[in-house]
Structure 1
Amino acid sequence: MTTARKTTTVFLTVLCGLLLTIVSLVQRWPGWTWPALAVLLLVVPAGFFRMASQRRGPVPPSFEEQLTAAPVERTECRVNGVALPSLWDDYHFVFSATVRWYLADGPGRGTVLNPAGLAVDAVIGRARAIAEKREPGHASLLQHELGGALSRMHPDSTGHLRAMAEDVSLTLPAEDQERLDRLAGVRKDETVWEHQRKYEQSKRRYLGEDVLKDTGSAVVWWLTKNDEHVARTVADLPLLAR
């Protein structure tokens, strides 16, 4: 039982007792006391209920607003671990983001039962159109590119809403990243080996087709290497001729 109800019960009990007392005494009262008694019976209850209402206080505005406020419509959701294709077959990016949207106003739009589904589909479609043209080795760079491309509100294909994304995250699965690292190491080693092979071929061609094609070319080459040992070069002419 609340405090206000208890107070009302006590008041009614006291009032009933007062009335019984008055009835027992009224037969001996003079006639001029009847108007005073009527005023007393009207003023006392009114004053009592006024005091009770002041003690209880007004209804909080926030409570009234909660009763009349419309339900809050959700306009964002989190998407995690969506696979997006890359330029290379069998390599996929892992996409996560917070999708936001708002419903478009206009005639004939109708009621959208699942706006989150439309917004997520629109954002993923925009992200896929970019990701499938990028190599998997540049996931960190693509993450920033998608963060900029998806930061603007764009209408979905149905025209019911506009959607965007923030907190974009883009990664590669760990095993795919390991494969890319090994491929990069092999390509680097192959490039170094190719340069070494070309260097050796060029050196052999230079010696065989230029330096050692005849005795004169061999002597000139030897002199450029040992210009301070002319006498020794002359002594080595038979060797250079062979």
Structure 2
Amino acid sequence: MNVILFTEGREAIPVRAIPFITGWLMSPINVAASLANIDLPKKFKGLNAYHLLPNGKAAKMLPKEWDGIAWGLQALSDKLQSDEKIKDENNLVWRRDSIPLLPAGVFVWKDEFEQVFTRFYGSESHIRLEEREGDRELSYSPMIPSELRVTIIEGFAMPGETGAWKNRRSTDRDYVSDKLIRMNQGAEKFWANADRNDRDTHPDNAKVAVWFEQHGFSPTLAKKAATLIRPEWAPTGRKPEEQ
């Protein structure tokens, strides 16, 4: 999955993609703390994150805007660690649940990020025991779990686009309703990993409808949306009982 997007004629990286392109050298907490400029190593000193204004122009986020984000991530980390009975048993949960706590639609410029990343992680002062080939390299087509792919690009482009994403300005997508975007997200979330030959992997329409209601659909519209995104090859009704 290529995570590079384009806006204002420059290459950019969603902040939610940074943990993946760095191989989790930079966890979401590291990303937020560094952009808040409250980390001791000052890894991202001089680097700013941006979001797009309605007119399509990039607006810089101030370091203080990252404080609450960093606190929320730290709280999640502390809770998951306190719940552990075995060391690191919640690591996969952390990787799944921490990414959405980084803000959607926020990015860093690729050239600026590469500069600060190389400055800190490329120096000999950053020592890694038993370092492997590629540990200090950035991967712009990392393996991202399917359930997080839409999350990574939320706020940038329509789900389903392939290759590098080009950020669309609001005037370029006025014809696309927010509910259509949400339906595309729902299709990716519930059906991307479904096996047409295994009905146990097919989500129930009622469950899908609940998700749509949680995202602003009326109960009636949520039921219709759940039906519309259901692939033609997925039968409805009760599963036949095993003999």
TM over 0.5: no
Q: Work out which of the two has the higher radius of gyration on C-alpha atoms and give 1 or 2.
A: 1
Higher relative contact order (CA 8 A, sep 6+): 2
Give the alignment's TM-score, normalised by structure 1: 0.20
By percentage of residues, which structure has more helix? 1
Give the alignment's TM-score, normalised by structure 2: 0.20
By percentage of residues, which structure has more strand? 1
